[in-house]
Structure 1
């Protein structure tokens, strides 16, 4: 770990790595959400139907859930420097394809592949954890996550203006293409300006490539159970792409997707069993054990925090427009107050975790999250717009601080598995978003907010099963030597 003092205005040593990492994450979110603010212009240019537009929006997130898990595995194995650079470079290709696309089929394929860049967040979690000591890790991960996550808001503000500046019906192509160029250029900047660890430090890798390692039979069962919601969500997305859902894939194609998902799940289960054979023979050394329940609790909390954030960002402009009779442009500006809170709230949640402990901070923030959404559910036109905005911003503080506190704890569970743990926890955020948006399509807006509040209450009670990270993590390097890493 670097002993350099934490100074946000520094751009050397560990601070340089953190700044370059959040910039990489920022660009991935700009690319990932580059179509949403331009979708109406794109639809007019290509001649898309309402059903085709919905299909593109679904395809944009379909690949992100498995991608986060896969990228987590690859990051732990090959290091964040190479993986982040490769992801930025490769994902610029479908971005360019989308920019020059002239048919729905081309746009659909490009949007599906671009969803992979949504996994970039996971890589930086491992990178930052390698450079910062435990006492600074929460705020460092918070800055990385909060500032990088702002890329979606930046895309919404800037891309329409860029498209307009280029003029004509095809101005959107230049705006989309520019985001791809940013991703490609920054791939080289990142690769040549960071290293996986400080000089002299060891980069610990999983003992076996593939599925996540666990330490006991009970943890193995819990790992399999925690994978089920991810596959169920992919099945739900497949249904949404069917004629019975909102999109337009044929029934035979959707059935093929279901069959493929089942085959992937079966293969995943077999690989998980193969990697964890030792738990059935009792041959896991005591110093290498960790509690998978820690991961499960953080999954549940990220389901409620980041899952609700993605859902709220999607519906909040329309909610403000309908509740307070605003124009969509004005409603969008007002709703952006929710996303703006990321810049300070997420680092704030990490700082609170560093200062007051991971578990106690999560308990307070999760309770605030539940109360916040309960309060938002009470908003109606009688509140007045300023009070409604204040309530939403207060709620978003607990949501995004909770996200920061979750990822302040993730790197302290098992160092060599940080990428995989971050990948699974991050995937649960997407699972939560799909779940909450599905609920939103079926119930009233007030009930929708109550459901999110109830999920936070459930997360609050799961926290009592979490153990405060303290002491040391034991890892074994390539030479077979045991190293103790401080987590307190």
Structure 2
């Protein structure tokens, strides 16, 4: 954006007043073009059409069946070839009312684990949406993302001006370029947060508490970096940019780690959870912008305030279990 702005001013001789406004047409075109391509080229879900989402589960179970997976006794529906009596078969079905049949072939044993059944996305009702929204697990994820993504949006919007204030010799364009690096660090920070979360999950043998602790560790550390930046308010360029780079890693990693846990929470309503978490992250950006607005050019103060909020909110929801007690699926 600084380069586009400079091009309009230098090549087209526009005033800065007009140049920065016209510069926004470029990202606008990119965003709209990307949205159109997503609608036209992308499937409804990662496994295909929304209307055929159940078929993906059936296909996965068919593969598992063909590979000779051990079938838990409680989740088997007996067919003709098992030798089981009709009474036994009926009793098994009654004991697992939530089990659905997936037919692998005539006369074969058919099964679907309750876990798989509960991981199929269902069409949401108003009651289900509200239930998911007020769930402590959803609230915990929203609180963490409110701080990580919300603070990122707010800081992104003022970082160029903050650099320009503390380092006037940089000028507007160089300040903007250094500030842009804060967002660019998402390229490695956000994926690493999710990747490390999954690695921790693997080596703790599927312990979801490990994923959750990782989220809060990142959130609190992010808050500490914001406190350091805001309270130090450094006028040493290397120190400031180093602190901001450190903040960017933990902040971006926190975003990625958050969405590494999201699929485990209410898997049958994963879109609802994802939507609420993402929306609250944007809302956090609005609140952060208001904090910056009322502190005017005292950027350091606004940043350490965001740091305090991040630490307090992360610690406040750290005790909430990763998934609801008794939840089937999501592991």
Query: Structure 1 length normalisation: TM-score?
Result: 0.45
Cα distance change, pair 158–200 in 1 and its aligned pair in 2 (3 A): farther
Equivalent pair of 2:57/2:120 in contact (CA under 8 Å): no
Write out aligned runs for 1:242-261 (5 A).
none
- Assess, with a 3 A threshold, how the Cα gap between structure 1 residues 429 and 185 changes in structure 2: closer, same or farther: closer
Q: How many residues align?
A: 248
Q: CA deviation at 1:385?
A: 0.9
Equivalent of 1:201, from 57, 69, 76?
Answer: 57
Among 186, 211, 218, which residue is 1:365 paired with? 218
- Aligned equivalents of 1:182 and 1:405: distance in 2? 25
- Over the residues paired in the alignment, what is the CA RMSD in angstroms? 3.5
- Look at both structures and tell me which one has the larger radius of gyration over its CA atoms: 2
Q: CA deviation at 1:300?
A: 0.9
Cα contact 2:148–2:281 (8 A) shared by 1: yes
SS at match of 1:201: helix
3-state secondary structure, aligned to 1:408: helix
C-alpha separation between the residues in 2 aligned to 1:158 and 1:210?
Answer: 47
Change (3 A) 1:333 1:158: closer
Q: What are the Cα deviations for residues 372-428 of structure 1, in whole angstroms up to 9, with x where unaligned?
A: 10111134454x212211100101111111111111111111112111111111111
Q: 1:465 aligns with which of 297, 319, 326?
A: 319
Partner Cα separation in structure 2 for residue 192 and residue 432 of structure 1: 28
Contact kept? 1:306, 1:430, Cα under 8 Å: yes
User: Which blocks of at least 5 consecutive residues in structure 2 are unaligned?
Assistant: 59-118, 201-209
Alignment of 1:445-484 (within 5 A): 445-469=299-323, 474=328
Evaluate the alpha carbon distance shift between residue 191 and residue 163 of structure 1 in structure 2; reply closer, same or farther with a 3 A threshold.
farther
Q: Find out whether 1:413 has 2:265 as its counterpart.
A: yes
SS of 1:468's equivalent in the other structure is: coil
Q: Which residue number corresponds to residue 137 of structure 2?
A: 294
- CA gap of 1:471–1:157, structure 2 versus 1, over 3 A, is farther
1:337/1:389 contact within 8 Å kept: no
SS in 2 for 1:466: coil
1:329 aligned residue: 173
Residues in 2 aligned to 1:323 and 1:435: alpha-carbon distance in whole angstroms = 24
Query: What secondary structure is seen at the aligned counterpart in 2 of 1:372?
Result: helix
| Matches of 1:177 and 1:392, distance apart in 2 | 30
Instruction: Indicate if the aligned counterparts of 2:145 and 2:278 stay in contact, CA closer than 8 A.
Output: yes
Q: How does 1:267-282 map to 2 (within 5 A)?
A: none
The residue that corresponds to 2:252 in the other structure is: 400
Distance 2:45 2:145 in 1: 31
Structure 1: give runs of 5+ residues left out of the alignment: 1-155, 224-291, 475-484
Task: State the alpha-carbon separation in 2 of the partners of residues 165 and 198 from structure 1.
Answer: 57
**1:251-282 deviations in whole A, cap 9, x for unaligned?**
xxxxxxxxxxxxxxxxxxxxxxxxxxxxxxxx
